[in-house]
Structure 1
Amino acid sequence: MKKLGLLLALLTIFLALQAVADSVASFKGKVTDAATQQPLAGATVYISDLKATTVTDANGEFNFNNVPSRGKFLLEVRYIGYKTASQIVDLAATQNISFELQASVIESAEVVITGTPFSANNKTNSLAVVSLSREKLAQSAGTNIIDALAKVPGISQITTGGAISKPTIRGLGYNRVLTIVDGAREEGQQWGDEHGVQADQFAAARIEILKGPASLLYGSDALGGVINIIEDLVTAEGEFNGNFTTSYGANNGLTASSLMLQGNDNGFVYRGRASYKNAYGYRYKGFNVPNSGFNETNFSGMLGLNKAWGYAHLNLSRFNTNVGLVEEGPDASGSYFDEDGNVISNKDARSRSLNLPSQNINHYRAALNSNILLGGGQLKSTLAFQRNIRKEFEESAYEPGLNLGLNSYTYDVKYIFPNNGIWEPTIGVQGMYQTNVNAGDEFLIPDYTSNNIGAFAYLKRNFKNGAINAGVRYDYKTVDGADLFEDGNQVFTAFNNNFSNVSGSLGFAFELAKNLNLKGNVGSGFRAPNIAELGANGKHEGTFRYEIGNSNLKQETSLQFDLGLEYNAEKVTFGLNAYSNRIYNYIYPGNFSGETIPYDEEDGTVSILPVYRFVQTDAQLVGGEASVDFHLIKDLHFENTFAYVRGKNLADDSALPFIPAATLNNELRFEPNIKGLNDSYIKVGLTNVFKQDRFDEFETQTDGYTLLDAGFGTSLKMKNSKINVWVTGQNLTNKLYYNHLSRYKLANIFNPGRNVTLGVSIPIM
């Protein structure tokens, strides 16, 4: 597999050097207000498939240089206060193009990348996709990148304190949701409860979330959906700029800052970013949770070429975090105690020094992304290497107990045939080779190697008022676990498993009337069991349980039906999505018949831990999301979303574990026009989480609750730029509550209380 990846890398580089069939060209255009015909200066214009960006001048005009002389590409124009516009541009025939933008109080992002192999207008995309901008992510005041997404309908998070969040989409999480960073699938021991996403939240220009099975395009682990973290746009040719962002959160003293610089010198593009976060133990009414703090340091860089033959970008990054883990909850009075039985004061709990147990994670990533224009089509590839080093410290801050080293080599190569505007065929091949080694003196999973490859074909047919698409895919994966003996006892027994599957998808998108779109999709998903499900045998810090895997597990497969209706007018929008997802051989951990096991701790004590074994059943998840936004009065927005999912174990009609409660979000947002300021807003919101009274036998009921949020922000005008300032308040009534998916609920530790965050973003020109 590594040889195949190397061959593909050499082929990509060779084609990048040899692809000179297209001559260099340029084209111009203009962006105006549709009603007044006045030029719009400062509008962003870009071609995603070429990673080419420019900005309109004072006359509303833009110019692209060093683009190919032929080919059809999707051109997109964004401008605050106007509907996003996009259209296919034929570079062989187009020299000048004009966009007339329609004013709108509703932001509209029509272009998505995640749902299809190429950039496509959302009106012709059959999959349920939502997108969040960097501004929305910042204003959410999330402690990490997944926390910032948690209010998107259908998206939830499994949390371990304030530092670690794992995404779930429509009730499916862990290895059923695939995260894409720098164009490559993230691999970082994501099977664990307290193993979060290793990505710098400041580096995300926007995040696109694909809800539903995406195994056709991404293979195993995309059975539930995909979260695509998209990097900054390449700056316009001849420009050098940057940004400094910093914020402070009062609840846990979270300081978060990031500095980014980038440039474009005649198609040679570069970017560098450094980020740092630090927090002490989070607080709820009257108490700080000891050892729930964390710190995080991230460095990333990009070097690349944007030329007439396409582009090639090399992304390098290092993600490092240290996270405190909580082993004991409070007593009946709410107090926390140290190992000697002394009460831990709130002052001590606010220390930024981490105590034991804790974990340290280093995640290194190198990804080469390219799009080479070849034969009138596009050859897109992502070749990546990742190394994840995860250490857990229990008795010593210097010698880790659990020490896992995971190497992952991934490749994703697809060819998009020449686009005639009607038929859009694509073929692709993807694969991954992994090795995992235990280097500590404690063990949870065995050493293993994994090897998988998949190939797919995808076809889209465009019509005047919509499109249909279909695809088929084949995957093959092997997982080999190794024996392990310790002190004459067998900890792990070797196994050799292989899995294969054929996936398919069929969908449509149709414009029923002006601004009214109907979408539908039926797709099958596939997921091979992860290494913990197959081979775990040990205690996992921070999860309060002992896990035992099952090497006889079968692969999961699913069949989901999805139907959506969207209406986007000037002052009113609504969206409705309903889905039914049947999963065969659904894998989940359970504590059956109250099984426990004595566990010898390193300090000589013995703990009695509940035993969780991995089992399988057929399952059904049904649910839906709804959103209604009213903008009947100028500058006043009333936005509402609702999400519900019901999971059923079909063996006995009982509830599936780890299913989020239904949620209703309401937000009133006022955007006044203040002289000398831009993008001002004041918002007040309610998050209503319903009671979760459907739970598995080893879970407990979670009461409903309502949280009050508020915030305001504005932009200060500068020459050719602006400074953004915002204040966000969360849980302002300081409500005591448990989220059903909080891992600390088992220890009777509440979720965070009141938090106020102040942030500022300063451009560097």
Structure 2
Amino acid sequence: MKLKLISFIILLLVQASAFADVIIVKGRVVDAQSKQTLPGAVITIPELKISAITDPNGEFSFKSLPNRGRFLFSIEYVGYKSLTKIVDLSAGTPLVFELQSSIIETHEVVITGTAISANNKQNSTSVSAVGRDGLLRQSTNLIDALAHQVPGMSQITTGPSISKPVIRGLSYNRVVTLSDGVKQQGQQWGDEHGIEIDQYSSDRVEVLRGAASLLYGSDALGGVINLLEPLTPPDGQIKGEFLTNYSTNNGLTGTSLMLTGNENGLVWRARGSYKNAYSFKTPDYYFPNSGFNETDLSGMIGLNKSWGYSHINLSYFKNNIGFYDPEPANGLNFLHDDGTPFTQDEYKSRTLEYPKQDIRHYKINWDNNFITEGGNLKVNLGYQKNQRRELDGPDPSLFFDLNTYSGDVKYYVTEANGWQPVFGASSDIGHSLNKGSEFLIPAYDTYGVGAFAYIKKTWDKNTFNAGIRYDYRKNKGKGLVEDGEAKFTPLPTNFRT
């Protein structure tokens, strides 16, 4: 069945490519005062996930853009102020972008996590954007990196690789994390594990502080963390990236290798990452068995054509974390159960002992943006499998297995006289099982559906937003009888907002 589905998806992509018209859009990037061309400037269209670079003559071209629609262009060049501009592709005239020189490189940040992509100055929602450099600063995980840079955001952490986001006091199931346009679905209620996403995989992160429930549902009451993948390179190019870092406290080593390419609109990307750390050290002593290791694999293949784009994303995340909670002897060292002290070699061993945690997350999603006569249609379908094992020995004592299917559809009506309407609907189905010998929470099924309408009006320097949303959720907690005693009673619940 899975092979048939994959074959059907590939057939759709091939057919769409065959019947698409190739539209070439050309332009130049120049200095606003001298009018001299600027070679090496980067031009991106975030909504279409494509980019281009100006040649030695300061010229650029996009070979496969739609022949209609208004899109936000972002232009960046070292030593100049970044520029964002809405371009109507139906005009058909060559584009000329004029950049203002500046000693301080100010950035007109493009925000895509809101209902309509726009310059951050035109958004009524408070949003902070963290670029690639910020994400690669010394930290043990993605949320740790964000918590030190975004005002109003902190973290709940119970270990070097365990961080849960907190936005203005709200966390767990009140903050949504988006990756490849899909809500990350794991065991959000717990604080013994972090967000199952590769720290190196994102090119930029947007943090929406405050309620974003209109677009993403009631679980976005606290805010949204929108992780944006790297844009595909210009047509005909292949790019690579190699990253590595080291931390002296716990010997943390991190390595990531990425390759991405674009050949006539056929785009692809592959990344592999690995982290490893031994026990961390406090001012007085090492904390035994507090190391971790993490393995991440991800890939993308798709098409960028004049009708829009269609990408298939896959990812695999595995994190092993050591647990230990003894009392130090004399405040200087820890003892084994037999009373012997830990040695220096044991503290710096990268082999985890029991008890430990094994977290795995598998995800596949199909991300689409189709350009239509009156606007554009975005469709994102996803499947995720989240597994959390806690082991005191070879067999897990706690074993949570969560399978989630999700669908999200949004239709953006073409702007007219400053009015930009958006309509959307989303649905998800979750099925959680307890497969271990101990039971912390009941097994459950959850079903959710929601729909919204949103409108934005822009005039001069003013922006007006309004919207309405309806959500329905059904949760079914399953009963459990153990040794003749009811451990959990059935708990069916329904919510409407």
Determine which structure has the larger strand proportion and give its number: 1
- For the 8 Å contact 2:210–2:223, the answer to whether it is kept is yes
1:476 is matched with which residue: 472, 486, 489? 472
Q: Deviations over 1:409-464 (max 9, x none)?
A: 01110000112361100000011100001111011111110000000000000111
Q: Which amino acid aligns with 1:144?
A: N
Partner residue in 2 for 1:146: 143
Amino acid at match of 1:461: K
Matches of 1:354 and 1:19, distance apart in 2: 49
Residue identity opposite 1:451 in structure 2: Y
**Counterpart position of 1:643:** none
Return the match for 1:174 from 163, 172, 175: 172
Partner of 2:486: 490
Aligned letter for 1:303?
Answer: I
- Is the Cα–Cα contact under 8 Å of residues 78 and 105 in structure 2 kept in the other structure? no
In 2, Cα distance between equivalents of 1:433 and 1:210: 25
Distance, in Å, in 2 between the alignment partners of 1:276 and 1:468 is 45
Amino acid paired to 2:401: G
Secondary structure in structure 1 of the residue aligned to 2:107: coil
Instruction: Classify 1:386/1:471 alpha carbon distance in 2 versus 1 (closer, same or farther; 3 Å).
Output: same
Gaps of 5+ in 1: 1-5, 502-765
Quickly say closer, same or farther: Cα 1:20–1:468, change in 2 above 3 A: farther
CA apart distance, 1:33? 2.3
Displacement of 1:479 in angstroms is 0.6
Partner of residue 287, structure 1: 285
Question: Which residue in 2 is equivalent to 1:658?
Answer: none
Equivalents in 2 of 1:13, 1:197: separation in Å?
34
Deviations 1:123-161 (A, max 9, x none): 2110000111111211x2111111111222111111112
Look up the equivalent residue of 1:149 and give its one-letter code: L
| Contact map agreement 1:26 1:95 (CA 8 A) in 2 | no
Against the structure 1 CA distance between its residues 278 and 468, is the aligned structure 2 distance closer, same or farther, given a 3 Å change threshold? same
Q: Distance in 1 between matches of 2:455 and 2:15?
A: 29
2:244 partner amino acid? T
Q: Measure how far apart 1:12 and its partner are.
A: 12
Letter in 1 for 2:43: V
The count of residues paired between Structure 1 and Structure 2 equals 491
SS in 2 for 1:187: coil
Q: Is the 8 A contact 1:259 1:274 kept in 2?
A: yes
Give me the whole-angstrom Cα distance separating, in 2, the residues matched to 1:19 and 1:497: 46
What letter is aligned with 1:48? Answer: P
Q: Cα distance 1:16–1:420, how it changes in 2: closer, same or farther (>3 A)?
A: farther
Deviation at 1:13, TM superposition (A): 8.7
The residue type paired with residue 479 of structure 1 is N
1:406 counterpart residue number = 402
Q: Is 1:108–2:116 an aligned residue pair?
A: no
Maintained 8 Å contact 1:80/1:107: no
* Cα 1:107–1:286 shift into 2, 3 Å: farther
From the superposition, tell whether residues 447 and 233 of structure 1 become closer, same or farther in structure 2 (CA, over 3 Å). same
User: Does the CA contact (< 8 Å) of 1:16 and 1:372 recur in 2?
Assistant: no
Contact residue 130 and residue 209 of structure 1 kept, 8 A: yes
Q: 1:154 and 1:444, CA in 2 relative to 1: closer, same or farther beyond 3 A?
A: same
Partner of 1:355: 353
Letter in structure 1 aligned against 2:112:
I
Q: Which residue of 1 aligns with 2:263?
A: 265
Counterpart position of 2:254 = 256
Q: Which deviates further from its counterpart, 239-248 or 363-372? A: 239-248
Q: What is the CA–CA distance in structure 2 between the aligned matches of 1:329 and 1:12, rounded to whole Å? A: 57
Change (3 A) 1:22 1:261: closer
Determine if contact 1:280/1:352 at 8 Å carries over to the other structure: yes
Asked whether the 8 Å contact 2:434–2:443 carries over to 1, the reply is yes
Q: Distance in 2 between matches of 1:391 and 1:369?
A: 30
Give the 3-state SS of the residue equivalent to 2:200 in structure 1.
helix
Task: Tell me which amino acid in the other structure corresponds to 1:77.
Answer: I
Q: Alpha carbons of 1:155 and 1:80: their partners in 2 closer, same or farther (altered >3 Å)?
A: farther
- Deviation string 1:494-521 (CA, Å, 9 cap, x unpaired) is 11001110xxxxxxxxxxxxxxxxxxxx
**CA deviation profile, 1:570-623 (whole Å, cap 9, x unmatched):** xxxxxxxxxxxxxxxxxxxxxxxxxxxxxxxxxxxxxxxxxxxxxxxxxxxxxx
Is 2:13–2:303's contact at 8 Å kept on the other side of the alignment? no
Alpha-carbon spacing, 1:332–1:175, altered in 2? closer, same or farther (3 Å): farther
Shift in alpha-carbon separation, 1:12–1:476, aligned structure 2, 3 A: farther
1:133 aligns with 2:131: yes
CA contact (8 A) 1:22 1:70 kept: no
Tell me what 1:377 maps to: 375
Maintained 8 Å contact 1:209/1:227: yes
Partner of 1:39, secondary structure, is coil
What is the TM-score normalised by the length of structure 2? Answer: 0.95
Shift of the alpha carbon at 1:177?
0.8
Show the counterpart of 1:44: 42
Counterpart of 2:442 (choices 428, 441, 446) is 446
Higher mean alpha-carbon deviation, 330-339 vs 442-451, is at 330-339
Task: State the match for 2:185 in structure 1.
Answer: 187
- Describe the superposition over 1:646-676 as per-residue Cα deviations: whole angstroms up to 9, x where unpaired: xxxxxxxxxxxxxxxxxxxxxxxxxxxxxxx
C-alpha distance 21-90 of structure 1, shift in aligned 2 (>3 A): farther
Corresponding residue for 2:432? 436
Distance 1:421 1:368, change over 3 A: farther
Q: Secondary structure at the match of 2:142?
A: coil
Contact 2:357 / 2:391 at 8 angstroms: preserved in 1?
yes
How far apart, CA to CA, are the structure 2 residues paired with 1:339 and 1:80? 60
Residues 380 and 409 in structure 2, CA contact (< 8 A), matched pair in contact too: yes
Select the residue among 187, 196, 203 that pairs with 1:198: 196
Match of 2:26 in 1: 28
Decide which of 223, 227, 241 is 1:243's aligned counterpart.
241
Change (3 A) 1:275 1:421: farther
1:337 to 335, 338, 352: 335
Higher normalized contact order (CA 8 Å, seq sep 6+, divided by chain length) = 1
Which whole-Å CA distance do the structure 1 matches of 2:18 and 2:87 have between them? 21
Cα distance in 2 for residues equivalent to 1:158 and 1:292: 17
Deviation at 1:311, TM superposition (A): 0.4
Q: CA deviation at 1:97?
A: 1.3
CA deviations on 1:208-249 (whole Å, 9 max, x unpaired) are 100001110000211100001111111111111111111111
- The 1:173–1:107 alpha-carbon spacing in structure 2 relative to 1, beyond 3 Å, is same
* CA–CA separation in structure 2 for the residues paired with 1:245 and 1:470: 43
- The unaligned stretches of length 5 or more in structure 2 are none
Contact residue 84 and residue 108 of structure 2 kept, 8 A: no
Q: Measure, in 2, the Cα distance between the counterparts of 1:12 and 1:132.
A: 34
TM-superposed CA distance for 1:80, in Å, is 3.0
Matched residues in 1 for 2:11 and 2:409: separation?
13
Query: What SS does structure 2 have at the residue aligned with 1:283?
Result: coil
Measured after TM superposition, the shift of residue 38 of structure 1 is 2.7
- 2-structure distance, mates of 1:35, 1:328: 68
Show the counterpart of 1:299.
297
SS in 1 for 2:408: strand
Deviation of 1:77 after TM superposition, in Å, equals 0.8
> CA separation in 2, counterparts of 1:13 and 1:488?
54
Distance 1:11 1:258, change over 3 A: closer
Counterpart of 2:155? 157
CA distance, structure 2, for counterparts of residue 11 and residue 315 of structure 1: 13
**Counterpart residue identity of residue 402, structure 1:** L
Alpha-carbon RMSD across the aligned residues, in angstroms, is 2.2
Write out aligned runs for 1:232-631 (5 A).
232-330=230-328, 333-394=331-392, 396=393, 398-420=394-416, 422-501=418-497
Task: Provide closer, same or farther for how the CA distance between residues 16 and 210 of structure 1 changes in structure 2, counting only shifts above 3 A.
Answer: farther
SS at match of 1:148: helix
Inter-CA distance 109–294: structure 2 relative to 1 (3 Å threshold): farther
For 1:107 and 1:329, locate their aligned partners in 2 and report how far apart those are by CA, in whole Å. Answer: 51
- The 2-side partners of 1:418 and 1:392 are apart by 51
